[in-house]
Structure 1
Amino acid sequence: MEKLRPHLRPTLLLAYPVMLSQLGHVLVNFVDSVVVGHIGKVPLAAVGVGVSTTSVLLVLGIGLSMGTVPLVAAADGRRDLPELGRLLVASVWMSALAGLVLAGLGQLLPSLLYLLGQPSEVVRLAGPWVQVISLSLFPLMVFQGFREFAAGLGLTRQAMWLSILANGLNGVLCYAFVYGRWGAPEMRMMGSAWATLIARGMMAAFMAAYVLNAKRLREERAAVTSLLPAGATIRRAADLGAPIGVQMALEVGAFGLSLLMAGWLGVTTEAAHKVAIDVASMTYMAASGIAAAATIRVGNLRGSGNLGGARQAGFAAYWLTFGFMGVMAALLIMTRHIVPYVYITDPQVVAQASTLLLVAALFQVSDGLQVVGLGALRGLEDVKVPSVVALLAYWAVALPLGYFLGFKLGMGAPGVWTGLLVGLTIVAVVLLQRFRRETEPEFAATLAASAEEPAAV
């Protein structure tokens, strides 16, 4: 533990802005849910269905953009300015193009909602909301393109402040549009979607302005020789980002499908699931901030040739996450009967949400450790195997087990969530062991030696 101490402070300094920035994505949904939840449980359930479907697209895009981070961190560790210039252009182009594609795909989602076995009144409200919220994926991805490049250089506070500002704007606009306050039209549930679109557009504009004008980045901008992306650079970023996006989509998709399973049990259960998943998502995104710091620290140290330091930085992030998520688990247990009232006062929804929050408390540590494991491995540019682990753990174990417990054994939504707990724990254990092995000096030396052997003729 003594060897890890020097890495705790640098990791925290990188992590807390990312934690707040990542929380921004979830707080948008939190504000939407709280404001809409006071209209009734059907609109709350509709927002839940909308979020569960569009979130798969959102995290697929975010994961793709994150492929830039370890490359930028490693290039910065070498102070390879030409490569940093190429990565800046590639990051923005890749994210913007992905945003266009994802926004277009989102327009097709409403036609699929009717196939998911959800209550008809919920689907009717969710369809238009999904179409508007999907449009916001384009500015969000533009924001990500600039943000992830800056994050790879260790510049994380700017995105934090922008996320705080955007969430404040979203909260004000959401309240005004939903209830028709301060001269705004009363749009009810749809108002929350339009508020999110406007807030994300502001985030994109301000993040772009920072990267393109900040004095701190003048050397990286000066290294840009073409505004068109280099094919090899964008392929490298996509090769890392695509598996990250797939892994994140698999995880979020598993949680999204669990919400749809809750919908099969009725509107009340679906609304309760929405409350509990919102709370769990906030603690998860906070832990993902530490994971992002682990990616930057591990990638930078590895890029400078210090694999031992990279190993220590990764384990420092593990311990920080373990402590943080342990505290969150205790808080959830103590407040599980109070938190649901922030969203809704329906006694049946509150009772079911309280039960689900207890299960959520149980998987806090596993959830945190699996996301920091993913972050540390990204710093090693190890992304494909973790994606396979996620596929098997969530879709071959967690969801079938959850369905069996929830529907065959009659446990309902808590059974579905127990399946998720098992899946998260499997991923956490496997990734911890993989990071431990990948950073062992003997294993790294074997890989280096094999890479230097001449190819057989």
Structure 2
Amino acid sequence: MYETKTIKEKIKLFFIIFFPILITQVSLNLMTFFDTVMSGQAGAIDLAGVAIGSSLWVPVFTGINGILLAITPIISQLLGARSYDSLAKKVQQAIYLSMILAIIIIILGGLFINPILNMMNLESEVRFISKYYLISLGLGIIPLFIFNTLRCFMDALGQTRVSMIIILIALPINIILNYLFIFGKFGFPELGGIGAGIATSLTYWLTSILAILIIHKMKPFKEYQVFSAWVKPKTKHWKEQLKIGIPIGFAIFFETSIFAAITLLMSEYNTNTIAAHQAAMSFSSLLYMIPLSVGMALTITVGYEVGAKRLNDAKAYGYIGISGGIFIALLNGMILFLFNDYVASLYNSDPDVIALTVQFISFAIVYQLADAFGAPIQGALRGYKDVNMTLIIALVSYWGIGLPTGWLLANFTSLEPFGYWVGIIVGLSTGAGALLVRLRYVQKKYDKQQNPSVD
């Protein structure tokens, strides 16, 4: 990260940071994408099983990852304030915390996988694949959380290309492992959807090992000596990260878990409907990586400028990111509209599943516009370390408004399963509007703190 003077310089730096984050996020999401697509080629039961497993895992992972993301604004503001001495200590404590969180998730998963799956009206084969897909993923949770912590540190330094390179190395390996374990090639066992979980878990180990080696051996990371002179775990450092991270995590959880809740509610429909719903959701989640990446870039750039007390520069980055996110969302909508048949056929060859998937994609075109507006604003607010109100907005808009609206439309109108997607659109749109109001309030508050004479 470095100081910029003009809008042109800011746009250039923003996109230098943004594009590697985007490629990294898309590549990470492609692991789940290929899990789903390749499992679908093994059969509709494997697709449905991985779909259910993913819908349960993704909100948990993204919620916990929100806690890990808190290290980004912490490091960014320290860099902006030129407080370099404490960086290594902050990262080490974040690694400790990530491992503890991973162990907690593994324990809770062991306790609740069976009860949750048994609550769902699933075919026994689908339930079996979902269970062991999740168990397989669990083998890689600890290295996954460590990698994400290290990635946040690298990204906060503005070195987003490094994490991009790590994931670009890991993605083709993940695809190869999927091929081996799903279809049982070259002497490996044919495990179907369960094999996708094993392949992804092994990939998590690879990314973690690569990140550790790079930070320990390469410039500029090795100058911070993150893996030298280890300090003991200290809860006061965890409290600082948790104070920021828990609201971030819960806000993300409330947004992503609404999709999991809808998938659970849709379990009353047949396997083809579940498969089509998840196929459309999988692809739209891939597109969501664009506004999410804009938000992550804004956390870095806004946090850096806020730490340096250059508030006008922080606002400028916010407007650059929000405008870019909306433009890209319009482009995404055109892509989905023009190629919906092709996208649907990627997931399954069954004509009935393809036809249903196309219908779900038409709703995804609308809701990703709201996502493209809301996600960058959330990222900007994280740069200001303003996270508590974002949590409340997420809870009310997604669970207080979006989900009830979807349930009513699905159960009392002819929309049926598509009613849930209308509910998603309503919830995300409400949240995006409220987040914009909050961002303007926070910007004015910081302006008054720096210059009390400002009205």
Does residue 446 of structure 2 align to residue 444 of structure 1? Answer: yes
TM-aligned CA deviation for residue 3 of structure 1: 7.2
Does residue 268 of structure 1 match 2:280?
Answer: no
Q: What's 1:15 paired with? A: 18
Report what 1:362 is aligned to. 366
Tell me the distance in 2 between the aligned counterparts of 1:271 and 1:434.
37
1:167 aligns with 2:150: no
Question: What amino acid is the match of 1:444?
Answer: Y
Distance, in Å, in 1 between the alignment partners of 2:207 and 2:61 is: 15
Match of 1:74 in 2: 77
What secondary structure does 1:363 align onto? helix
Q: 1:90, CA displacement in angstroms?
A: 1.6
Equivalent of residue 232 in structure 1, options 225, 231, 236: 236
Write the letter of the residue equivalent to 1:236: E
Once the two structures are TM-superposed, the CA of residue 447 in structure 1 deviates from its matched residue by: 4.4
Alignment partners' CA distance in 1, 2:227 and 2:310: 26
State the match for 1:200 in structure 2: 204
Between the aligned partners of 2:227 and 2:346, the Cα distance in structure 1 is 50
Asked if structure 2 preserves the Cα contact closer than 8 Å seen for 1:107 and 1:130, the reply is: no
SS class of match (1:281): helix
1:289 aligns with 2:293: yes
Question: Is contact 2:67–2:249 with CA below 8 Å preserved after alignment?
Answer: yes
Partners in 1 of 2:312 and 2:137 — Cα distance? 44
- State the distance in 2 between where 1:183 and 1:120 align: 28
TM-score, normalised relative to structure 2 = 0.94
Alignment partner, residue 138 of structure 1 = 142
Separation (CA, whole Å) in 1 of partners of 2:63 and 2:387: 14
Query: May I ask how many residue pairs the two structures share in their alignment?
Result: 447
In structure 2, the residue matched to 1:386 is: 390
Instruction: Give the Cα–Cα distance (whole angstroms) in 2 for the partners of residues 53 and 426 of structure 1.
Output: 24
> How far does the alpha carbon of each residue in 1:61-107 deviate from its partner, in whole angstroms, 9 at most, with x for none?
21110000001000011221222122121221111221222222222
Q: Say if 1:294 and 1:313, in contact at 8 Å, map to a contact too.
A: yes
C-alpha deviation, 1:292, in angstroms: 0.6
Compute the displacement of 1:153 (Å). 1.1
User: 1:359-380: CA deviations, max 9, x gaps?
Assistant: 1011122111111111000000
Report the Cα distance in structure 2 between the residues aligned to 1:227 and 1:251, rounded to whole angstroms: 36
Report if the CA contact (8 A) 1:110-1:128 is conserved.
no
The residue matched to 2:297 in structure 1 has which SS? helix
Q: Which amino acid aligns with 2:98?
A: S
Deviations 1:11-60 (A, max 9, x none): 11101111111123311111111111012212111111100111122112
Q: Is the 8 A contact 2:216 2:227 kept in 1?
A: no
The answer to whether structure 1 residue 64 and structure 2 residue 60 are counterparts is no
Query: Partners of 1:444 and 1:73 in 2: how far apart?
Result: 17
Corresponding residue SS for 2:120? coil
d(CA) in 2 for partners of 1:3 and 1:158? 26
- Counterparts in 2 of 1:312 and 1:236: CA distance versus 1, 3 Å: same
The amino acid that maps onto 1:148 is C
1:176 lines up with 2:177 in the alignment: no
Percent of residue pairs identical: 25
Superposed displacement of residue 134, structure 1:
2.2
Letter in 2 for 1:34: V
Deviations 1:392-438 (A, max 9, x none): 11111111100111121131222110100111111111111211221
User: Structure 1 398/119 Cα, relative in aligned 2: closer, same or farther at 3 Å?
Assistant: farther
Go from structure 1 to structure 2 and tell me whether the alpha carbon gap of 1:186 and 1:429 turns closer, same or farther (over 3 Å shift).
Answer: same
C-alpha displacement of 1:281 = 0.6
Q: Name the aligned partner's letter for residue 242 of structure 1.
A: I
1:206-217 aligned within 5 A: 206-217=210-221
Residue from 413, 427, 430 that aligns with 1:426: 430
Cα distance 1:264–1:223, how it changes in 2: closer, same or farther (>3 A)? closer
CA contact (8 A) 2:39 2:192 kept: yes
Aligned mate of 2:86, from 80, 83, 87 = 83
SS in 2 for 1:403: helix
- Compute the displacement of 1:446 (Å): 3.6
- Classify the secondary structure of the residue corresponding to 2:349: coil
What is the distance in 2 between the residues matched to 1:19 and 1:88? Answer: 23
1:118-137 map, 5 Å: 118-137=122-141
Structure 2 CA distance for aligned equivalents of residues 223 and 146 of structure 1: 11
Q: What one-letter code is carried by the residue in structure 1 that aligns with 2:174?
A: N
* 1:83 to 1:344, Cα distance in 2 relative to 1, 3 A: same
Confirm or deny: 8 A CA contact 1:103 1:136 kept in the other structure. no
Amino acid at match of 2:414: G
Match for residue 453 of structure 1?
none
- Please state how far the C-alpha of 1:116 moved relative to its aligned partner: 2.8
1:329-381: per-residue Cα shift (whole Å, max 9, x none)? 11001111221111101111111110110110111221111111110000000
Change (3 A) 1:436 1:108: same
Equivalent residue, structure 2, for 1:155: 159
1: distance between equivalents of 2:325 and 2:443? 19
| 1:308 pairs with 2:312 | yes
Instruction: Tell me the TM-score normalised to structure 1 length.
Output: 0.94
2:32 matched to 1:29?
A: yes
| 1:324 alignment partner, one of 324, 328, 332 | 328
Q: Distance in 1 between matches of 2:213 and 2:6?
A: 40
Deviations along 1:282-330, one digit per CA (max 9) or x if unpaired, are 1111221111110000000000010110011011000110111110011
Q: Is the 8 A contact 1:92 1:142 kept in 2?
A: yes
Instruction: Give the conservation status (yes or no) of the 8 Å contact 2:182–2:194.
Output: yes
